[in-house]
């Protein structure tokens, strides 16, 4: 290291912004740098480029039918444009405070977007679509993040909690639907059975073959009981 140089290091998975006299001079990839600095007027801002997770919990929102519920979501983001990021936040205190401020602004944007999406649906529709209603990302939210130099990789709904009394109503409603479905299936089975019996009865009317089969079935049942003498048909009466 020379007497008139400063050594800066940009760690892996980071990007460096080199400033001279408080003016951005260049953007530096990971590496070690010897920078000429006669009067100590350079400084380096290093920003992480790996994804960071932001958790937003216990947020209240009103559904379209004015039911208050709470939601939580997880946001995965990263710094995609270091220069734009540096121009959007106060970097005078370093990278960590700037990232904290960025997360606060990002959390506010996500909360507003989530309230808009959830508030557009009724409580019953939300309950039925809870499994598929997980992605809270949108083009508008992505654009807001990009304007801050951030890339949104995921905005995922973690949980959606209805008030206890509403949960009980949904449970009773679901129970009633299941019971009605079971009753309908039983009714369909009964109708199908009755129709089959009717068709069989119509088939047996006047059919000599069916009568013969019934006759043979009757003989078989009697034989199973150990009675082997059968009187079938009409026999002439003996003279007195």
Q: Which of 75, 77, 76, 85 is nearest to 149 (CA)?
A: 85
CB 36 within 8 A of CB 48: no
Q: For residue 237, what is the DSSP state?
A: P
Residue 142 to residues 77, 84, 89, Cα–Cα distance (Å): 10, 15, 18
Residue 123 to residues 56, 128, 138, 163, 171, Cα–Cα distance (Å): 21, 9, 21, 11, 13
pLDDT tens for residues 175-194? 556 566 656 666 667 666 66
- Cα–Cα distance, 84 to 86 (Å, whole number): 5
What pLDDT, on the 0 to 100 scale, is given for residue 174? 47
What pLDDT, on the 0 to 100 scale, is given for residue 184? 66
CA 236 to chain centre: 85
What pLDDT, on the 0 to 100 scale, is given for residue 214? 63
For residue 75, give every residue at least 6 positions away whose Cβ sits within 8 Å of its Cβ, in sequence order, or none.
53, 54, 55, 56, 106, 107, 110, 152, 154, 155, 156
Backbone conformation region of residue 192, classed left if phi is above 0, alpha if psi is from -120 to 50, else beta = alpha
Rounded (10°) CA dihedral 16, 19, 25, 27? 10
Token pair for 185: 């299936």
Token pair for 154: 């995921």
- Cα–Cα distance, 80 to 101 (Å, whole number): 16
pLDDT tens for residues 38-58? 888 999 999 999 999 999 998
Backbone conformation region of residue 233, classed left if phi is above 0, alpha if psi is from -120 to 50, else beta = left
From first to last of the 240 residues of the chain, give the pLDDT tens digit: 567 889 999 999 999 999 999 999 999 999 999 999 888 899 999 999 999 999 999 888 888 877 788 888 999 999 999 999 999 999 999 999 999 999 999 999 999 988 888 888 887 777 777 767 788 888 999 999 999 999 999 999 888 877 665 556 555 654 556 566 656 666 667 666 666 655 666 655 556 666 666 666 666 766 666 655 655 555 555 555
114: β partners: none
């Amino acid at each position: 290291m020379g007497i008139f140089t400063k050594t800066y290091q940009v760690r892996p998975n980071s990007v460096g912004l080199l400033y001279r006299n408080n003016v951005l001079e260049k953007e530096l990839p990971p590496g070690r740098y010897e920078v000429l600095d006669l009067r100590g007027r350079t400084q380096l801002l290093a920003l992480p480029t790996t994804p960071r997770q932001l958790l937003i919990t216990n947020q209240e929102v009103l559904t379209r039918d004015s039911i208050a519920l709470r939601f939580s979501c997880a946001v995965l983001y990263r710094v995609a444009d270091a220069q734009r990021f540096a121009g959007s936040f106060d970097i005078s205190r370093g990278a960590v405070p700037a990232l904290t401020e960025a997360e606060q602004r990002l959390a506010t944007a996500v909360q507003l977007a989530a309230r808009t999406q959830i508030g557009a649906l009724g409580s019953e529709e939300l309950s039925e679509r809870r499994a598929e209603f997980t992605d809270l990302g949108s083009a508008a939210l992505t654009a807001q993040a990009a304007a801050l130099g951030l890339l949104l990789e995921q905005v995922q709904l973690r949980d959606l909690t209805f008030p206890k009394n509403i949960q009980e109503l949904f449970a009773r409603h679901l129970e009633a639907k299941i019971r009605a479905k079971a009753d309908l299936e039983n009714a369909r089975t009964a109708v199908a059975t009755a129709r089959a019996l009717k068709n069989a009865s119509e088939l047996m009317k006047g059919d000599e073959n069916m009568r013969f089969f019934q006759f043979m079935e009757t003989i078989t049942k009697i034989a199973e009981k150990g009675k082997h003498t059968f009187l079938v048909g009409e026999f002439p009466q003996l003279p007195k």
